[in-house]
Structure 1
C-alpha cells in the first residue's frame, strides 16, 4: 500500500478548489454580477468534472481488478463514493449562495422570476412567446409499448412528466431545444427575466392535453465524455490500462450517464423509473432549485444601463504595454537588444502578435514554426501566419487535434492554415503536444538567427485577457538552437530528443526537475524551491519534494487547483508551504525556481507537475537567463506569495484557511494590474512612509515567517 499520510486524493482536492471558486460569490467586495458569474463558473466546472473525471472513474469501477489510487489508497468505487458525498454538500451550498445573490440583485432591479411572480402583462407576454416561439419547435415524446425510452442528450435540459392516461401511469419527456435562449427577457424598464425551461414546465398540461399531469420536473443528464484511452486518465502505473480501456470502450454503451439533476423533488415511483431507465444510482441523483445551466449570467451586463453595469461588474481593465517595449517601433530589434517578458492579462499579447505580423513581411525571415493547442474563435495569430505563408515564408504549425472540447475549432483553423499554404502537422502519435513554442528563423548578413517565444499558456487571444500567463520572447542563440532541434524532432515524431537548455517532456522534463531538487537537497538545509503551477499530482515529484522537505529544503508552492501533497506533516512535509489564489483572473502561469541568489535556476513552463504533463505530453520548460526578466518574474512571484486577500493557505488536513492580514491588505491581481499601468520608473509602494520600498518589504515577507 502507498504511504498516504502526506498526500490526498486528486478528485477531492479539485472539489476543494472548485468550492473556493464558489466562495468568491460570497465575497461582498466582488460586484454582484461577478458573484453570479462565479456561481456559473463553479457550475460549468462541476459539469466538466463529472463528464471527464467521474466518467473515467465510472469506467474503471467496472474492471474486475481495481487499481488503487496512490494518493488515497482508494479503489475507483471508493473514490466515487467520496466524490458523491462531497458534491452533495456543494450542491446545498451553491443553492444557498445562489438564492442570496439573486435576492441582492433584485434590489437593483435584476430579477429572475418564477412563473407565479409574473405580473398580468408579463403572463400575457410569456403565453404569446410560448405560442409563437417555443411550442412550434418542441418535440414532446411519450414512452409506451410503441415508443421506447429515448436517448437523452448530454447536459441538455429536459422537462419530465409523470402522466396518467386511462388510469395507466406513463412517462413523457420534452427536450428543451438548444436553439432557444436560456432565459426570456420580459418587457419593461427593469431587467426582469424567466428561465425558458420554467416556461415550458408551466405549459406541460397544454402539451399533453388528454392526460392528467401527476408530476413534472426539469431534469438534466450528465454523461461520461468520450475519453481518449491514449491520453492520461489517471496518475497511477498500469501497464495494460490502455488495452483494458480500449476493450471497455468497445463493450460499454458510449456516454453512460454519471449524474442526474432534478429541479425539484419527485415521488419515489417517478424517481425509480428514471433511475432504472437511464440508469443511475441514488447517490448519482442531485436535487436543486438553482438553475441547472447558467450561461445566461455572462450576457446580463449587456442588458444594463452603463451606470448600473459599472456598479455591478468589475471595472474594465485594458492590458498595459510591457515596460521597455514600444509597439510603434519594430519588435525584432527590441528583442535582439534584450529579452521581453509578457505577463498576461496585465500586459497584452499585442507585442507577440506584432512580432508575427512583422515577421510575415520581413525579407530576412525564412520560416516560422509554432505549436498550437488552443486558439480563440477569432484569431489574429492565424491571419498573420497565413499572411506569412502567402508572402513566401515557410510556416509550419503543429496543431493538437485532441485538445479536449476544442477539437472542432482546431480542425477548422488547420484547414484555414493549409489553404494559405502552411504546413500543418497534427501532433505526435500517443502524445499530446501541449507545449507553447514559436520559433522565427532569420538569415541576416550570411548567418542564421533565431527569435524564440516560449509561453506558459495558449496562443488564445481571448483567454490571454482572463488567464495569468507568462510569455518569453528571446533572441538567445542557445535557446533558439534548442528550439530548432525541438521542431526538427517534432516533425519526425521523435519525443526522445536531448537538449542543452530546454527541459522537454516526456524525455527530460521530469528528470530535469528531479535533478534540480536533488541539487537543493545536497545543500544540507540551505536549499530553496519556489514553484507556481496549476496542479501537482505526479507521485514521483511529490515523493521528491517530500525528500527535499525532510532534508531541510524550504519549499514554497503557489498551486491554484489540485494539490495532492499535504504540507506541514511532521517528518514528511513540515518544510513545505502551499497557497492557492482564486480571484478575478484564472491563475495559470507555471514557474519553477530552484536555489536563491546567484545560484538560482529559474524556468517558465507549459507543464504542471502532473503525470499527464511529465510523461504523456510534449511540454517545454525554458530557463530564464536575462536578469531584468528574472527580476520581473521575482516581482510577480513575491507579489502572489504576499497575497492575503485572495490567497488561501493549504492545511495538513486538505482544507484551506484565510491568510491573516498583518499590515496591509494585498490583492496580488489588483496590485499587478496597477503595476502594469505605472510608468517604467515607478514602483508601487504600499506604505510610502516606510523607509524601505515595496520590493524590500516583499522580500522580507518571502524570507520571513510562515503565513
Structure 2
C-alpha cells in the first residue's frame, strides 16, 4: 500500500485550511466587516506559515537535501516548490476577494481612496497630516556602492524607488514607520480612508527631489522566525537572558518571502534578487494591502450605527449555569466536578478560584503551567498576591511560546519579583500543557483542586477561542498532578500516572490502546475526536486500521489533516470535517465508544508528532456524567453543522455539506447554536 493513497503533505494541507479561512471572506451571509477580518486572518496566518514552516523547510533543504517527509515522501525542496506554486494561486484569490469586499464597502459609503481621487480640501488635509505626523518620522536612505543595503525588518513596509543622478542608478528606500496607523481617516464622517504607505509614496518625489525617479513600489519582507535554542545556548548564562539574545537574532535571519504592491520593474527586481538573496519564486505581487491589521480597528473608527450593521451581533460570555457565583469555588469543586465552555461562558469562575486560593490561609501551594497570557492578566495579579501572602507559588512558564516570547519573559520577571518560584521546563521540550494544582489543608487532611484545560490561561483569547476548562477535587487526579509538577521540575519525562495521560512518553501509547479497544468491537466501535490538527503517523495508521475493522470514525479537525478520508477499503469509515466560524475552534475532545460506556478525555494535545513526542502535554479523563453529557452535546452539535462545516474529500479538498434544495433539513450553525443556548 502506498503512503500517498491515504495521506497528504502537512504543508499543503495547511494551505488548504487557510483557503477555508478565505472562503469565509467570500461568504455573503457573513457581515461585510467580518469578511474583511477573515482576509486579515488569512494574511496573518500566511505570514506565520512562511516565518515558521517555510523557514524550517529552507533550512532542511540546505542541511538535509535527501530527507523526505513521512507522509508523501517529498524532499524539503519539493515541498517548497509545491508551496510557492499553491501560494501564488492563493494570492490571486486573496486579491480577488479583497477587491470584491472593497467594492461592497464602497456601496456602504466606506471607501479606501487613492490620493489622486481626493478633492482639493482632502488633499490639503492630507498634506498637513503628512507634514505633521509622518514626515518627521521618516529616515530616507539611498543604496549604492558607498551606502550598503540596510537591515530590512520583517513585516515592515518599505517604499522603494529607482533613482537616477548623472546617469547613475541608485535605489531610494523609505521605511514606513510602525508607529503610524495603517489607514488615515479623511474628513469628518470617518468613512473615507487612505493608506499611510500610499501617502508616503505620493510624496516620494519630494523626499528624493535631487533625483529623477523612474519607478516606485512598496515592498514587505518576511524573515525566518523559527529560532531553535538548542545550538544557541551553552548553559553558562541565565536562560531568560539567553532567550532575549536569541530573539534579537530573529531580526536578522534569512528572508523567506518578499511581497510587492505591484509588478516590479526590472531594476527593482534585480536589486531585490541580488541584495536580499532571494529567488524569483519567493516574490509575490499583491493588489491587497501588504499590512492588514486595520480590519480589526476599523469598526471602532466607523460610525457606530454603520459598524454595528456590518458586524456580527455583539456577544458576551455568560455566567456558567453550573456555577453558583455567590458560593466559594473551592467548596463547589469539593462537592462536584465543574466545567467551563469558552467563549460561551466566562472565565471568571476559574479566576475566582485562584483569587480565593490566594487569600485562603488553608492554601499550601499553587502550581501552574503558563504558555500564553494576555498583556493584562488578573491571573498573574492573583498568583503574585498568593506569593506575597506566604503561599508557595510555582509557575512553569514557557519562554519559547512562539511570538509570545517577550511577553512571557516580562511575566516571568514580574512573577519572580513577587516571590513566585519561576521555572522554564525541561531542555528540548516545550511545556504546552494547561494544568493548575491547588494544594490545601482541609482540617487534618490534604486536599487537591486540579484544573486542566484545552487552551491557554489567556483572558483575551478565552472570548475568541472555543476551549474547555475542567476543575476537579478528584484525589487521584490531584496526586497525578503532584507527580507531574515534581517530574517536570526535575526534568523527568518518564513519570508514571494513574489517570492523567502525559506526553512525551505516556500519552500516545494510551491513545493507541483506546483505539485498539474500539477496533476489537469492529462495527460496534466508535471514535469521535475534535482537535486542531492531525499529523502523527502512528495515530493515522491506527485510525486506518480502525476504519478497516468497521469502526465508525468522526473527526472534527479545524486545521492540518494529513489523513485522507473516504478511500474505499482504507478510510471509507472515516468522516473528517473542518469548522471555521466566528470563533476559533481550539478545544481538544477525544471520545472512545458510544452510549453509557463511552470514555471522554480533554486536554492540551493535538494528535501531532510535536505534541505526542516533543512536548509536555496533559490529557485527563472525564468521569462526571453531567460533564460527559455536555461534552458529547458539543461534539453532536459540531457533527450536525451544515453551515460552517466543510467535508474533507479524498482529493484533499473541502466541500460544503450538500443539502437537497427540496429537503426540510434544518440549517445548523454549531457556534450560533451554542451562543443561543
Give yes or no for TM over 0.5: yes
Give the superposition deviation at 1:423: 0.9
How far residue 254 of structure 1 moved from its aligned partner, in angstroms, is: 5.2
Pairing partner for 1:671 from 645, 670, 673:
673
CA deviation vs aligned residue, 1:135-183 (integer Å, no higher than 9, x gap): 2221111111211122211111000101111112221111111122211
1:42 equivalenced with 2:42 (yes/no): yes
Contact in 2 for aligned 1:60/1:66 (Cα 8 Å) = no
Among 501, 504, 511, the residue aligned to 2:502: 504
Do residues 144 (structure 1) and 177 (structure 2) align? no
Deviation of 1:270 (Å): 2.4
Output aligned runs, 1:93-492, within 5 Å: 93-228=93-228, 230=230, 255-492=253-490
Aligned partners of 1:132, 1:478: CA distance in 2, in Å?
A: 65
Q: Per the alignment, do residues 253 and 201 of structure 1 end up closer, same or farther by CA in structure 2, a change over 3 Å counting?
A: closer
* Aligned with residue 524 of structure 2, among 523, 526, 546: 526
Q: TM-score, normalised by structure 2?
A: 0.95
Q: What secondary structure, in the 3-state scheme, does the structure 1 residue paired with 2:62 have?
A: coil
Quote the offset at 1:271 in angstroms: 0.9
Unaligned runs of 5+ in 2: 232-246
Name the CA distance, whole Å, in 2 between partners of 1:87 and 1:667: 30
The gaps in structure 1 that reach 5 residues or longer are 232-248, 676-707
1:553 to partner: Cα distance = 1.2
Contact 1:498 1:507 (8 Å CA) reproduced? no
Alignment correspondent of 1:237: none
Asked if residue 586 in structure 1 is aligned to residue 584 in structure 2, the reply is yes
TM-superposition CA deviations, 1:618-650 (whole Å, max 9, x none): 000100000000000001110011000000000
Q: Deviation at 1:64? A: 5.3
Q: Judge which range, 355-364 or 635-644, deviates more.
A: 355-364
Deviation at 1:268, TM superposition (A): 2.3
More displaced stretch, 2-11 vs 353-362? 2-11
Shift of 1:409: 0.6
What is the deviation of 1:524?
Answer: 2.7
* Counterpart in the other structure of 1:685: none
CA RMSD, Structure 1 to Structure 2 (Å): 1.6
Aligned-residue offset at 1:193: 1.1
Aligned twin of 1:83: 83
| 1:491-640 equivalences in 2 (<5 Å) | 491-640=489-638
Query: Are the aligned partners of 2:154 and 2:251 in contact in 1 as well (CA < 8 Å)?
Result: no
Q: Is 2:386–2:393's contact at 8 Å kept on the other side of the alignment?
A: yes
Aligned length: 657
Q: CA deviation at 1:210?
A: 1.2
Contact 2:56 2:226 in 1 (8 A): no
Distance 1:230 1:554, change over 3 A: farther
Separation in structure 2 between the aligned mates of residue 501 and residue 564 of structure 1, nearest angstrom: 29
Mapped partners of 1:289, 1:125: distance in 2: 26
Separation of aligned partners in 2, 1:185 and 1:209: 28
Aligned-partner SS, 1:61:
helix
SS at match of 2:571: coil
Distance in 1 between the 2:230 and 2:39 partners? 33
Q: Counterpart of 2:650?
A: 652
* Distance across 1 between alignment mates of 2:361 and 2:264: 71
The runs of 4+ residues in structure 1 deviating greater than 3 Å are 251-254
Match of 1:67 in 2: 67
Within 2, Cα distance between the matches of 1:559 and 1:62? 32
Q: Are the aligned partners of 1:369 and 1:440 in contact in 2 as well (CA < 8 Å)?
A: yes
What secondary structure is seen at the aligned counterpart in 1 of 2:522? coil
C-alpha distance after superposition, 1:55-105 (max 9, x if no partner)? 110111112532101112111011011100111111111111111111111
CA contact (8 A) 1:226 1:254 kept: no
2:234 is matched with none
Determine if contact 1:2/1:73 at 8 Å carries over to the other structure: no
- Say which SS state the counterpart of residue 314 (structure 1) adopts: coil
Give deviations 1:580-625, integer Å, cap 9, x for gaps: 0000000000011111123222100100000110011000010000
SS of structure 2 residue aligned to 1:669: helix
CA deviation profile, 1:113-152 (whole Å, cap 9, x unmatched):
1111111111111111222221222111111121112221
In the alignment, the residues of structure 1 paired with residue 124 and residue 322 of structure 2 have an alpha-carbon distance, to the nearest angstrom, of 61
Distance 1:507 1:496 in 2: 6
For 1:66 and 1:505, the matched residues in 2 are separated by 30
Q: How far 1:550 sits from its partner (Å)?
A: 1.1
CA distance in 2, matches of 1:308, 1:109: 9
Q: Which residue is equivalent to 1:680?
A: none
> 1:412-465: per-residue Cα shift (whole Å, max 9, x none)?
111111111111111221110000000111111211111110000000000000
Q: Shift in Å at residue 552 of structure 1?
A: 1.2
Establish whether residue 32 from structure 1 lines up as the match of residue 32 from structure 2: yes
Deviation at 1:252, TM superposition (A): 13
Deviations 1:20-50 (A, max 9, x none): 1111111122111111111011101101110
Counterparts in 2 of 1:674 and 1:651: CA distance versus 1, 3 Å: same
Contact 2:190 2:301 in 1 (8 A): no
Q: SS at the partner of 1:619?
A: strand
Superposition deviation, residue 227 in structure 1: 2.2
Q: Name the TM-score, length of structure 1 as normaliser.
A: 0.91
CA offset at residue 108 of structure 1?
2.1
Could you tell me how far 1:230 is from its partner in structure 2? 4.8
Deviation at 1:391, TM superposition (A): 1.4
Cα distance in 2, alignment partners of residues 222 and 502 from structure 1: 41
- Aligned counterparts of 1:647 and 1:607: Cα–Cα separation in 2: 22
Q: 1:157 to 1:441 in 2, by over 3 A?
A: same
Asked if the contact 1:372/1:400 (under 8 Å) is kept, the reply is yes
- SS at 2:306's partner residue? helix
Distance in 2 (CA, whole Å) between partners of 1:322 and 1:226 is 40
Q: CA deviation at 1:111?
A: 1.2
Distance change in 2, residues 1:536/1:64 (3 Å): closer
Counterpart in 2 of 1:701?
none
The answer to whether the 8 A contact 1:367-1:394 is kept is yes
Measured in 2, the distance between the counterparts of 1:400 and 1:253 equals 21
**Does structure 2 conserve the Cα–Cα contact (< 8 Å) formed by 1:388 and 1:395?**
yes
Matched with 1:238 is: none
Deviation at 1:306, TM superposition (A): 2.3
Distance across 2 between alignment mates of 1:561 and 1:226 = 20
Deviates more, 1:45-54 or 1:308-317: 308-317
8 Å contact kept, 1:7–1:566: yes
2-structure distance, mates of 1:121, 1:143: 36
Pairwise CA distance, 1:2: 6.4
Shift of 1:324: 2.4
Contact preservation (8 Å) 2:65, 2:76: no
User: Hey, what's the Cα distance between the residues in 2 that align with 1:312 and 1:253?
Assistant: 38
Question: Matched residue of 1:530: which SS?
Answer: strand
